[in-house]
Chains A and B, each alone.
Chain A
């Protein structure tokens, strides 16, 4: 069954239409890669899923229930949006780690704040916070960053920062983890360590949407690929088919630019 269903999403920035009639679905445990040139609307689409942008039209459903309907203001209430966001995790291109906190605190902060809303927080405060610490340590260990838990972001390399950001997103156990060009801000020699982490998440059947310019990575790691151009989905299908045997001329043109260099 689909964990995520997106129907007819449309988004304008002023008079410019950046997304048009975007529909797709994603099954539990699958990885979806979104490819396309800059300005094709990939990032805006991810931002819509994370409620960082509000689509002008369309619906978004998670686990069978509609969490956003552009036609229904009741689905857009501020208080509920905050909770609905937690269905999605987001890893940004520029990491956006909190500079004043250590790697570990970056991972645990949101969970600590959320736990304050638990009815048993006052009674079990110590145990709850301790548990969050342990989980944070485990996540950092999974990212190969145990040694770096007490470092501040400015003391970490770009690749390490992005891995902390992935751990931070995972800490809230989102249904769907979104990556917005996770390696685009990294030096080429640092992209490998981040891609390796994402690859292992895919092997563990983490449901993911990855906006990326790494074609070989998309082909090998994603189950499905969507190619976007000018705000519309031009082609979608199994990763290997779309990247090795594109049906559409525009997809072919786009991919040929990648094989050239």
Chain B
């Protein structure tokens, strides 16, 4: 019985990790784009960007996920754009998570960029650097150093937030654990597999905490 449960939980955890990784890969760069929008001197763009961030941060991720998964099917004449089955649920989850997390990340980036003293930018300008060079060679690393603590917080939250994808029945680890309570693999009424999922989250987040501690230390050589 134990091996059956562990096998099912492992399978669920792989979905969890996939959603986690895809969200990071999408939201980390998209968040930077959104933060540039929020800081743009072009007022309509800034306004648009900040409104989107307000809406996404102001409503529950669970609600956004439901809307992204179900609403297009009603609106589009061709029906739901999502493939059927688990791959469609995963894709919809990934889109919702990427948009949601990009908005949170964008505000962290914005704080990080605006926290770099304006004198750094000016020093680069008077040395004849282009805006791109100033960002890449001067601002970026100083920003990264500033955002590691809030980012690690947000990324650890993301690990646990992946469980929200269960609302559209994406088969992540909580879904897999809960299945033993409802009945699956010939068992039902089993409570412990659900609780056991906590161990997975704990171990993985422990690993991430070590990783972020290491990054923070790596960037300790300058102030």
Q: CA of A152 to CA of B141 in the docked complex: distance in angstroms?
A: 15
The answer on a CB contact under 8 Å between B130 and A82 is yes
B117's contact among A86, A89, A96, by CB below 8 Å, is which? A96
Q: CA of A114 to CA of B128 in the docked complex: distance in angstroms?
A: 8
With contacts A100-B141, A154-B222, A154-B223 known, is A94 near B130, CB below 8 A? Answer: no
B126's contact among A89, A98, A152, A153, by CB below 8 Å, is which? A89
Write the B111-146 contact mask toward A (1 if CB under 8 angstroms, else 0).
000000101101111111110010001100110010
With contacts A152-B221, A154-B222 known, is A98 near B123, CB below 8 A? Answer: yes
B60 CB to nearest chain A CB (Å): 39
With contacts A99-B223, A100-B222, A110-B128 known, is A52 near B123, CB below 8 A? Answer: no
Q: CA of A113 to CA of B132 in the docked complex: distance in angstroms?
A: 11
A99 contacts across to B, CB distance below 8 A: 142, 222-223
B125 CB to nearest chain A CB (Å): 7
Name A146-187 residues within 8 Å CB distance of B.
152-154, 168-169, 172
B145, closest chain A residue (CB): A100
A152 contacts across to B, CB distance below 8 A: 221-222
The answer on a CB contact under 8 Å between A85 and B128 is yes
A160 CB to nearest chain B CB (Å): 15
B129 contacts across to A, CB distance below 8 A: 82, 110, 113
A227 contacts across to B, CB distance below 8 A: none
Write the A38-51 contact mask toward B (1 if CB under 8 angstroms, else 0).
00000000000011
The answer on a CB contact under 8 Å between A52 and B126 is yes
Identify the interface centre among A52, A113, A114: most chain B CB within 10 Å of its CB: A113
With contacts A100-B141, A113-B133 known, is A172 near B128, CB below 8 A? Answer: yes
The answer on a CB contact under 8 Å between A94 and B222 is no
Question: What is the number of contacts between chain A and chain B, taking CB atoms within 8 Å?
Answer: 58
* B contact patch SS: helix
Identify the interface centre among B117, B123, B145, B221: most chain A CB within 10 Å of its CB: B123
The answer on a CB contact under 8 Å between B120 and A98 is yes
B196 CB to nearest chain A CB (Å): 44
The answer on a CB contact under 8 Å between A50 and B130 is no
A50 contacts across to B, CB distance below 8 A: 126
Name A44-97 residues within 8 Å CB distance of B.
50-52, 82-83, 85-86, 88-90, 92, 94, 96-97
A46 CB to nearest chain B CB (Å): 10
B133 contacts across to A, CB distance below 8 A: 113
Write the A108-134 contact mask toward B (1 if CB under 8 angstroms, else 0).
011001100000000000000000000
B130 CB to nearest chain A CB (Å): 7
Q: CA of A100 to CA of B137 in the docked complex: distance in angstroms?
A: 10
The answer on a CB contact under 8 Å between A82 and B119 is no
The answer on a CB contact under 8 Å between A96 and B128 is no
B127 contacts across to A, CB distance below 8 A: 109-110, 168, 172
The answer on a CB contact under 8 Å between B223 and A92 is no
With contacts A96-B122, A98-B120 known, is A82 near B128, CB below 8 A? Answer: yes
B126, closest chain A residue (CB): A90
The answer on a CB contact under 8 Å between A92 and B119 is yes
B122 contacts across to A, CB distance below 8 A: 52, 92, 96
A48 CB to nearest chain B CB (Å): 12
Give the B-binding residues of A (Cβ under 8 A): 50-52, 82-83, 85-86, 88-90, 92, 94, 96-100, 109-110, 113-114, 152-154, 168-169, 172
Give the A-binding residues of B (Cβ under 8 A): 117, 119-120, 122-130, 133, 137-138, 141-142, 145, 221-223
15 further interface pairs, Cβ-Cβ under 8 Å (given A94-B119, A152-B222)? A82-B128, A82-B130, A85-B125, A88-B126, A92-B123, A96-B119, A96-B123, A99-B142, A100-B221, A100-B222, A109-B127, A110-B128, A113-B133, A152-B221, A154-B222
* 19 examples of A-B residue contacts, CB within 8 angstroms: A52-B125, A82-B129, A83-B128, A85-B128, A92-B122, A96-B117, A96-B120, A98-B120, A98-B123, A98-B138, A99-B222, A109-B127, A110-B127, A110-B128, A114-B128, A153-B222, A154-B223, A169-B126, A172-B127
Q: Give 5 closest A-B pairs by Cβ, nearest first.
A: A110-B127, A96-B123, A96-B119, A90-B126, A154-B223
